[in-house]
C-alpha cells in the first residue's frame, strides 16, 4: 500500500490526482500544516525538509511533488510517454511548474494575502511573474491540447495544483480562454474529481 502524507494544498493535490488517474490504491495521511504538523519530530523523521506532499512506497520515502509524479509514472508506465521527444517535453513543462509557476504563485499569494506587512515591490514582482507565466501557458495551450501535446501527462497534473488555487495567487482565466479550456478538461475527468475530493477531505478529517 502506498501512503501519501498531504494536506489540502496545491502541491498535495497533484498526488491523489495522479494515483486516481493511474488506478493505484493509496492511503492518505493528513499532515495539518495549519497546526505546523509538517515540522513535528515524527514528520521530520520521514521528510527532513518538513513539507508535504510525501509518498511512502515500501522502503522508499519520496519528497517533492515532481519527484513523486515521476516515480509514479515510471513505476507504472503511465502519464509519461516513453517516446523520447514527448517524454522530454513532459519533463520540460513539469520543470516549468516546479521551478516557475509553483514558486511564483505561492509568493504572489503570500505577499498579497498572508504577509504581516504590505510590501508593494514584493506584490508587484510576484504578481507580474505569476501573470507572465499565465500568459505563456495560455499561449502554449492555444497550440497544444495538453502541456506535452496530445496526451494528458504528469505536466498537466503538476500545473493543475496551482491553477486549482489560482485565486490565492490573484490569477484569473478572464482573458485566458486556452487556459480555461484546459482547466475545464482536467476538472471534468472523474479521476481528477476523486483526487480533489480526497484532498479536500484532509482539511476536515482527523487521522485514525
Residues in contact with ligand GSH by the rule CB under 6 A: 9-12, 33, 38, 50-53, 64-66, 98
- Please report, for the chain, how many H helices and E strands are present, in that order: 10, 4
Tell the smallest beta-carbon distance from residue 83 to ligand GSH (Å). Answer: 26
Surface-to-core class of residue 125, CB atoms within 10 Å of its CB (0-12 exposed, 13-18 middle, 19+ buried): middle
DSSP assignment of 31-96 = --GGGTGGGSHHHHHH-TT--S-EEEETTEEEESHHHHHHHHHHHHT-SS-SSHHHHHHHHHHHHH
Is the Cβ of residue 65 or residue 108 nearer to ligand GSH in the bound state? 65
Residue 165 sits at φ, ψ, to 5 deg, of -110, 35
How far is the C-alpha of 111 from the C-alpha of 124, rounded, in Å? 9
Helix (H, G, I), strand (E, B) or coil at 146: strand
Tell the smallest beta-carbon distance from residue 150 to ligand GSH (Å). Answer: 26
Is the Cβ of residue 50 or residue 149 nearer to ligand GSH in the bound state? 50
Tell the smallest beta-carbon distance from residue 196 to ligand GSH (Å). Answer: 14
Is the Cβ of residue 81 or residue 199 nearer to ligand GSH in the bound state? 199
Maximum Cα–Cα distance for the chain, whole Å?
49
Tell the smallest beta-carbon distance from residue 7 to ligand GSH (Å). Answer: 7
Tell the smallest beta-carbon distance from residue 143 to ligand GSH (Å). Answer: 26
Is the Cβ of residue 12 or residue 107 nearer to ligand GSH in the bound state? 12
Is the Cβ of residue 10 or residue 195 nearer to ligand GSH in the bound state? 10
Is the Cβ of residue 36 or residue 142 nearer to ligand GSH in the bound state? 36
- Here the cell at position 131 is 501573470
Report whether 40 contacts 54 (CB < 8 A). no
Tell the smallest beta-carbon distance from residue 11 to ligand GSH (Å). Answer: 4
Amino acid at each position: 500500500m502506498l501512503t501519501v502524507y498531504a494536506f489540502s494544498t496545491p502541491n498535495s493535490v497533484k498526488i491523489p490526482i495522479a494515483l486516481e488517474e493511474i488506478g493505484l490504491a493509496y492511503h492518505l495521511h493528513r499532515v495539518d500544516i495549519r497546526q505546523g504538523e509538517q515540522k513535528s519530530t515524527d514528520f521530520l523523521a520521514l521528510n527532513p525538509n518538513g513539507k508535504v506532499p510525501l509518498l511512502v512506497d515500501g522502503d522508499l520515502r519520496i519528497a517533492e511533488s515532481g519527484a513523486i509524479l515521476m516515480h509514479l509514472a515510471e513505476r507504472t508506465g503511465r502519464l509519461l510517454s516513453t517516446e523520447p521527444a514527448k517524454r522530454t517535453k513532459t519533463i520540460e513543462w513539469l520543470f516549468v511548474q516546479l521551478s516557475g509557476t509553483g514558486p511564483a504563485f505561492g509568493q504572489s499569494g503570500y505577499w498579497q494575502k498572508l504577509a504581516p506587512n504590505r510590501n508593494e515591490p514584493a506584490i508587484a514582482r510576484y504578481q507580474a511573474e505569476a501573470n507572465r507565466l499565465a500568459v505563456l501557458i495560455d499561449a502554449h495551450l492555444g497550440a497544444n491540447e495538453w502541456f506535452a501535446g496530445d496526451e494528458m501527462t504528469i505536466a498537466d497534473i503538476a500545473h493543475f495544483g496551482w491553477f486549482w488555487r489560482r485565486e490565492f495567487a490573484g490569477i484569473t482565466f478572464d482573458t485566458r480562454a486556452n487556459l480555461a479550456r484546459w482547466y475545464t478538461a482536467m476538472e471534468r475527468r472523474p479521476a481528477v474529481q476523486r483526487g480533489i475530493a480526497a484532498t479536500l477531505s484532509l482539511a476536515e478529517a482527523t487521522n485514525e
